[in-house]
Amino acid sequence: MCGIVGAVSSRNIVPILVQGLQRLEYRGYDSCGVAVHAASLNGASGPNGGLQRARSTSRVSELMDQVQADHIEGGTGIAHTRWATHGAPAVHNAHPHFSHGTGAGAGVYTGDAPLKPGRVALVHNGIIENHDELRAALQAKGYEFLSQTDTEVIAHLVDSLYDGDLFEAVKAAVRQLHGAYAIAVFHKDEPQRVIGARAGSPLILGVGQGETFLASDAMALAGVTNQIVYLEEGDVVDIQLGKYWVVDRAHQAVSREVKTVNAHSGAAELGPYRHYMQKEIFEQPRAIADTLEGVEGITPELFGDGAYSTFKAIDNVLILACGTSYYSGCVAKYWIEAIAKVPCQVEIASEYRYRESVPNPNTLVVTITQSGETADTLAALRHAQSLGMTHTLTICNVPTSAMVRECQHAYVTRAGAEIGVASTKAFTTQLAGLFLLTLALAQTQGRLSDEEE
Ligand code: GLU
């Protein structure tokens, strides 16, 4: 899952979009792209009714060169870095995707209608699980697919549901999507409007002076705005010049708190180090000290109110995590069984969520995730909850994340932003949090003498 940046502004927003992608480059990507509504700026129009696009399988800096050479400018736009899940890394699979085909905006396909140019431009992070069946239905309506992505179905679906109001079309479209998505969409007929939606992939809103932004991570907007709204699961948002509206998963209007977030781009802060991973290795003592700051003794309340009764109620621990976090879970299993004497199993979240398991209501479900947005770990948590396991706790680095919001208890590590792809300080601070958990469990279960404590 990679990067999204979107904006509605009265200035040329292309440099902000591309710089936003540059700030997200550290996550890795195989291709990138940007699309703007040219008519959103001084009424200029482009060859495709105002929609203009550049896509590339090389670096974001080369996308910028391409954008300049092609004079792509606009006040409304969306940009994307892609990690391919469906369809090879190639220009035709890179986002943004446009809707197109004989059905695009034409209602029912007549079989010999001329190809209509696209009306919808869309970027997407995540995976649409029911893309095959949606594609078949859209092909029957005359939509033509030019990529192998799951994403292109969303562009066509929004187009097919459009009846003069993009917000309504996106709300109707997301009802049909199964899977994980963060999307940003604009429409040829609505030059100063971008609609965003999220479920399973992160999306934030940035509130600027007379301009509004969307991004998959506040870091993309560092230096642009520090006024951030974290959208919640199922939210759909309508952004326009200096204003926005959010609806929740039931499509009821909601107001979400605007937070001041001073995200660092990281780029300027490499200091004497050769690369981020080296810098982050050296940051570990600081990160662990920060994580343990304020810990004056072992108590379940380190994990939030009511943790004592939770720790008393459980008789085993199930750790759910992916990647590096799974390895910290493997270390914690040894500690929890050796010190707290509580049976503990560790499962890779993506396996757990799809297999049949035997639920035990007396289990403490512990999720471990740096970002708190790891799609498989969130899905595994929800799966465990749906099986009746209500005692949940997370070790997580991002206090505003979906995982922290959805778990009963949390210990928030303070590793700071980790840019290196191979985890270092995020892993060691997780271990610090997990060791505290081990000791708090041991204490609650009467297995820790004062001397040992
Ligand atoms: N599933 C989409 C694709 O393969 C989006 C991938 C992403 O999140 O970057 O194009």
- Residue 108 confidence (pLDDT) above 50: no
Task: Answer whether residue 92 shows pLDDT above 70.
Answer: yes
- Provide the residue ranges of all domains of the chain, joining segments of one domain with +: 3-268, 276-444
Residues flanking ligand 1, CB < 6 Å: 1-2, 82-87, 124-127, 149-151
Query: What distance in angstroms lies between residue 29's CA and the mean position of ligand 1's atoms?
Result: 10
**Is the pLDDT score of 355 beyond 60?**
yes
* Least confident residue range of 87-96, 145-154, 255-264, 304-313: 255-264
d(C-alpha 148, C-alpha 157), whole Å = 15
Contact criterion met (CB below 8 Å) for 422 and 288: no
Ligand 1 nearest atom to the CA of residue 93, by list position: 10
pLDDT at 400: 82
Predicted confidence (pLDDT) at residue 332 exceeds the cutoff of 70: yes
276-444 is classed in which CATH architecture? 3-Layer(aba) Sandwich (3.40)
| pTM higher than 0.95 | no
Per-residue confidence band for 105, with pLDDT thresholds at 50, 70 and 90: very low
83 Cα nearest atom in ligand 1: 9
The two tokens of residue 109 are 């396909």
Ligand 1 centroid distance, CA of 173 (Å): 18
Cβ atoms within 10 Å, residue 341: 13
Strand partners, 6: 78, 214
Quote the pLDDT of residue 1: 57
Mean pLDDT throughout 213-241? 95
Q: Which atom of ligand 1 is nearest to the CA of 3?
A: 9
How do residues 409-428 score in pLDDT, each as one tens digit?
A: 999 999 988 888 899 999 99
What is the distance in A from the centroid of ligand 1 to the CA of 82? 6
Highest mean pLDDT out of 111-120, 244-253, 266-275: 244-253
Q: State the pLDDT at residue 188.
A: 92
pLDDT on residue 268: 46
* Mean pLDDT within 267-283: 82
Split at pLDDT 50, 70, 90, the class of 107 is: very low
Mean residue pLDDT of the chain comes to 91
Res. 22 pLDDT band, cuts 50 70 90: very high
What does residue 292 show for φ and ψ, rounded to 5 degrees? -95, 0
How far is Cα 221 from Cα 236, in angstroms, rounded to an integer? 20
pLDDT higher at 110 or 303: 303
- Report the DSSP pairing between strands 392-396 and 409-412: parallel
Q: DSSP readout, 154-187?
A: HHHHHHHH-SS-HHHHHHHHHHT--EEEEEEEEE
Strands 204-207 and 227-230: antiparallel
- Residue nearest atom 8 of ligand 1, based on CA coordinates: 125
> Hey, what are 229's tokens?
């709204």
Task: Report pLDDT for 420.
Answer: 84
Of the ranges 92-106, 132-146, 247-261, which one carries the lowest mean pLDDT score? 92-106
Residue 125 CA, ligand 1 centroid: distance in Å = 5
CA angle 338, 343, 348 (to 5 degrees): 105
- Rounded CA separation 99/166 (Å): 13
pLDDT at 114: 46
Strands annotated E in 258-315: 259-260
Report the CATH fold assignment for 3-268: Glutamine Phosphoribosylpyrophosphate, subunit 1, domain 1 (3.60.20)
Q: Tell me the C-alpha to C-alpha distance, in Å, between residue 240 and each of 34, 112, 161, 207, 380.
A: 18, 37, 21, 10, 35
Q: What is the pLDDT of residue 275?
A: 87
Centre of ligand 1 from the C-alpha of residue 224, in Å: 26
Mutate to test the pocket of ligand 1, among 30, 31, 95, 376 (most ligand atoms within 8 A of CB): 95
* Residue 102: pLDDT over 60: no
